[in-house]
Structure 1
Amino acid sequence: MTRRLVVLRHAQAELGVGRPDHERALTGTGRSQAAEAGASLARAGLVPDHVICSSARRTRQTLDLALGELPATPSVDYSDAAYSAGVDDIFALVSAVDPDVSTLLVVGHNPTVAQLAAAFTGDGTLLAFPPAAAAVAELDVEWLYAAPGTGTGRLLG
């Protein structure tokens, strides 16, 4: 079974003035971006079975608005580890996903999500990955073995 790893950066968030970074919320523009990201995933047929989402407020809001545009509701793991994760940390989370999951969505933060997308979309060069950007990688291995080079990817646009 081919597995699809979808990577989504959170939508535009408020500046962090006067509040902890973890609690930053989406702006009005960000709310629109998040809903459009969900609609884009639906149009592309990328409906996740499962989601790993950073526990930050802006990623949770992005996910909620994106899910509102999808025809099915996946299971979701909100992860404190994904909030400050590097690429290797995300792959560690991905490796623990149930093998029956065919499409996995990871909602997180730059630069990690851009680095994760770049691991599958070309020569590994860091990509421009603006708020609410998404990429998908088709993997030929089980989640346990997911790593750079185990599939090919493309940016969604």
Structure 2
Amino acid sequence: MKRLILTRHAKSSWDDPLMADHDRPLNARGKAAAADLGQWLASRGYVPEEVLCSDALRTRNTFSGVAPALPGAPVLELKPSLYHAGPDVMMAVLRQAKADCVMMIGHNPGIAEFAHRLVSKTPISPDFRRYPTGATLVVEFGIEDWAEVGFGQAVTLDFVVPRELAA
């Protein structure tokens, strides 16, 4: 059995219109959402051992916001190929994972399509199809090795968006 936590980066800043997309940090709302997401994951026992993360600043900032709430220290692997990756690239990266519970942090539009193609049954949330910033899907696969993972195999355990977590 393998578990995937699939997270779109939290809300990023557009304060500097000349800043390269790759270098945009999280805004205040995004930082708060990432921290809330970390608490939510820990409270439900969704604790990754390995994190496959786009190398963009906003995805790294998302992980930095989530990580303090997680017990232990997941191995962070920055994956340049996940920057604006489509579903096939994301699948190729996931097939190289090593841990039983993996978190992947990426970008739209690819992550939304990847999530949709992974699940055997679509979550009922109206936000699932658009996968807003901070959206997180938790799924399980009945496989022994990530090399066996394929589309349509995932069983949904949970799906959340940050506004559902705001106190």
* Superposition TM-score, scaled by structure 2 size: 0.86
* SS at 2:31 equivalent: helix
Q: What is residue 152 of structure 1 aligned with on the other side?
A: 155
SS in structure 2 at match of 1:77: strand
Report percent identity of matched pairs. Answer: 30
Partners of 2:88 and 2:63 lie apart in 1 by 22
**Residue 138 of structure 2: which of 128, 136, 140 is its match?**
136
Question: 1:118 aligns to what?
Answer: 116
Q: Which runs of 4+ in 1 moved over 2 A?
A: 121-124, 154-157
CA distance in 1 between counterparts of 2:154 and 2:91 reads 13
Partner of 2:27: 27
Q: Deviations over 1:24-75 (max 9, x none)?
A: 0100010000111111111111100101000000000000110111111111
Question: Equivalences for 1:4-153 in 2 at 5 Å?
Answer: 4-15=3-14, 17-98=17-98, 101-119=99-117, 120=119, 122=121, 127-141=129-143, 142-153=145-156
| C-alpha contact (below 8 Å) 1:37/1:133 kept by paired residues | no
Q: 1:129 to 1:155 in 2, by over 3 A?
A: farther
Tell me how far 1:123 sits from its aligned partner.
Answer: 5.2
Calculate the TM-score normalised by the size of structure 1: 0.91
RMSD: 1.7
1:84, CA displacement in angstroms? 2.5
Query: Quick one: distance in 2 between partners of 1:154 and 1:110?
Result: 21
Number of positions where the alignment pairs a residue of Structure 1 with one of Structure 2:
153
Segments of 5+ residues of structure 2 without an aligned counterpart are 161-167
Partners of 1:117 and 1:153 within 8 A in 2: no
What's 2:163 paired with? Answer: none
Shift of 1:151: 2.2
Shift of 1:87: 0.6
Distance 2:45 2:138 in 1: 11
